[in-house]
């Protein structure tokens, strides 16, 4: 692509957004010269240690519980190849080519950090594969996330040595064919290199990055939906007052309230507290102990408590971002080579517990976001709750037409499924590898589960947007705030009032793509969450 930019990999500052952009082909990669120097020094130190006949795990020993078996020098290369072939034992649907390419990029970035003892030839081949659009074929099931993503990264490593299948620009083919088409040459791995490729957390980290990217979009649209709900129902401004939130100063709560208030600023739909007092007083006739007003003194929780409910969601997204980016810029294989300190250290940086915890937290956060969305959708559709809107938002003949009645089941079932998926995976350790790996993270399973949950959440949020637009076709669209008005105008160009003349699925599919692929909201960045 002519407009493709380049990410310079140095093992220090790769962002989750970079990971996604590299995976989908929007960015290519280059290697920082300082990183190349560090890698050269690390390799030279390792080579010297091998010449001195030092015993180094995975270099001249076997693996896992067989680490007491010392391997003859003539078989050191075969040891690396055998590791990859024997551990390429995954099953299930293939990981998406875009995520597989991101896995390759994350692993390259961690190796480029300079403490893994691999040759520059390996780094440059991985760079060439990414920039040529070669993505490894990786089955989704197999990793326990303890000694890293051994199964997933073994399949990634197969591609590097020219075996198995790969995607070339998303077309599946044999690795040999892809290398021929791109003029790249697969590598015969030297000692430590098979282990360095496999013994890390690149698969869970890349899946987590794509999951976080979707979750951030969900949060953005959730804030828009919240602002629409306040406008549709003439909500009371107090719930978003800065002074209220400064008295309970969770950072996420303050940010959510600021965002929603910024979105509806300038509206003619919001109820101000003083106006409400006047309207209620005007209904009071006579000296009676109690009289009943038809004006809501407070909004329901799904509107009024949005800042409090979304506060931990926002804070979790920030925590997950930090965790992913630390992991993506860490040395997470074993052993690590630190020439400047004259050390080769054996340890457990490959363990994926941090990513596993983060993905579990993200599942809880996004499931909470879905609970809020589903309840607001229900309020829009239920004639006993929707404050005068048509039943099920039906235009025309109620009963003959069904409106949003059937579509609500999508939100309800997806919300229920997500509650199940929110159960933690990081506590599900099962000892394996002859009890060598006696405590495991299940980080890749947690990331895959979170990815599925985020995918489901997009269904729920998409339906709420459509319900908002349908409700605004009946009232209040002419008095929207500056931000909500601009977003409504943008979305309304693609929206048609649903009147039972179209298959609802088609409307859902169109808006799901509109909201979560492409760059719909870029022109509205001044009004969206930072």
Active site (catalytic) residues: 57
DSSP state of 482: H
User: Which residue, among 202, 199, 155, 154, has the nearest Cα to 335 in the 3D structure?
Assistant: 199
Q: Please classify residue 481 by burial: count the beta carbons closer than 10 Å to its beta carbon, then call 0-12 exposed, 13-18 middle and 19+ buried.
A: buried
In the 8-state DSSP scheme, what is residue 478?
Answer: G
463 vs 468: CA distance, rounded Å = 9
Indicate the angle between helix axes 504-516 and 202-232, nearest 10 degrees: 110
**Rounded to whole angstroms, how far apart are CA atoms 84 and 63?**
12
Distances (CA, A) of 202 to 99, 116, 217, 416, 430: 10, 14, 23, 31, 21
Please compute, for residue 368, the number of CA atoms within 13 A of its CA located in the half-sphere on the CB side. 20
Nearby residues of 526 by Cβ (< 8 Å), 6 or more positions away: 483
Q: DSSP of 207-259, one letter per residue?
A: HHHHHHHHHHHHHHHHHHHHHHHHHHTT-BGGGG-HHHHHTS--HHHHHHHHH
Are the C-beta atoms of 377 and 408 separated by less than 8 Å? yes
Beta strands 5-9 and 27-31, pairing class: parallel
Task: Work out the angle at residue 35's Cα, subtended by the Cα atoms of residues 30 and 41, and round it to the nearest 5 degrees.
Answer: 140
């Amino acid at each position: 692509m002519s407009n493709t930019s380049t990410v310079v990999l140095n093992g220090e500052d790769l962002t989750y957004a970079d990971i996604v952009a590299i995976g989908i082909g929007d960015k290519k990669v280059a290697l920082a010269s300082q990183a190349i120097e560090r890698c050269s020094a690390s390799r030279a130190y390792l080579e010297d240690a091998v010449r001195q006949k030092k015993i180094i795990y995975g270099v001249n020993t076997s693996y896992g519980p067989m680490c007491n078996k010392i391997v003859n020098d003539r078989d050191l290369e075969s040891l690396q190849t055998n590791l990859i072939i024997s551990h390429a034992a995954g099953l299930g649907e293939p990981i998406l080519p875009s995520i597989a390419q991101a896995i390759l990029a994350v692993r390259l970035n961690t190796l480029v950090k300079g403490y893994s003892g691999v040759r520059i030839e390996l780094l440059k081949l991985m760079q060439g594969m990414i920039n040529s659009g070669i993505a490894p074929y990786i089955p989704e099931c197999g990793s326990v996330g303890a000694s890293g993503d051994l199964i997933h990264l073994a399949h990634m490593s197969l591609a590097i040595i020219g075996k198995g299948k790969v995607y070339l620009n998303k077309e599946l083919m044999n690795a040999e064919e892809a290398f021929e088409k791109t003029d790249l040459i697969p590598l015969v791995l030297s000692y430590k290199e098979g282990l360095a490729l496999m013994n890390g957390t690149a698969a869970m980290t890349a899946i987590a990055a794509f999951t976080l990217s979707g979750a951030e979009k969900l949060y953005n649209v959730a804030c828009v939906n919240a602002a629409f709900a306040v406008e549709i129902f003439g909500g009371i401004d107090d719930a978003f007052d800065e002074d209220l939130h400064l008295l309970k100063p969770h950072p996420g709560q303050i940010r959510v309230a600021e965002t929603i208030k910024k979105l509806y600023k300038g509206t003619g739909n919001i109820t101000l507290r003083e106006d409400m007092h006047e309207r209620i007083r005007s209904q009071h006739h006579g000296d009676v102990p109690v009289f009943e007003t038809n004006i809501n003194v407070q909004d329901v929780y799904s509107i009024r408590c949005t800042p409090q409910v979304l506060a931990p969601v926002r804070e979790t997204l920030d925590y997950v971002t930090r965790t992913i980016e630390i992991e993506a810029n860490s040395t997470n294989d074993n052993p690590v080579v630190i020439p400047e300190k004259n050390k080769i250290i054996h340890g457990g940086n490959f363990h994926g517990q941090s990513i596993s915890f983060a993905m579990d937290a993200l599942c809880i956060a996004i499931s909470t976001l879905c609970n809020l969305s589903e309840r607001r959708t229900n309020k829009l559709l239920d004639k006993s709750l929707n404050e005068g809107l048509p039943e099920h938002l039906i235009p025309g003949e109620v009963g003959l037409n069904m409106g949003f009645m059937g579509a609500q089941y999508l939100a309800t079932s997806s919300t229920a499924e997500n509650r199940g998926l929110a159960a933690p995976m990081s506590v599900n350790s099962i000892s394996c590898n002859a009890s060598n790996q006696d405590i495991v993270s299940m980080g890749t399973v947690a990331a895959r589960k979170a990815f599925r949950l985020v995918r489901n959440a997009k269904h729920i949020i998409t339906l709420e947007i459509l319900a908002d637009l349908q409700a605004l076709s009946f009232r209040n669209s002419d008095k929207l705030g500056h931000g909500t008005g601009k977003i409504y105008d943008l979305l309304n160009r693609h929206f048609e009032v649903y009147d039972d003349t179209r298959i609802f699925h088609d409307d859902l599919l169109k808006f799901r793509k509109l909201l979560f692929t492409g760059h719909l909201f870029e022109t509205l960045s001044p009004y969206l969450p930072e």
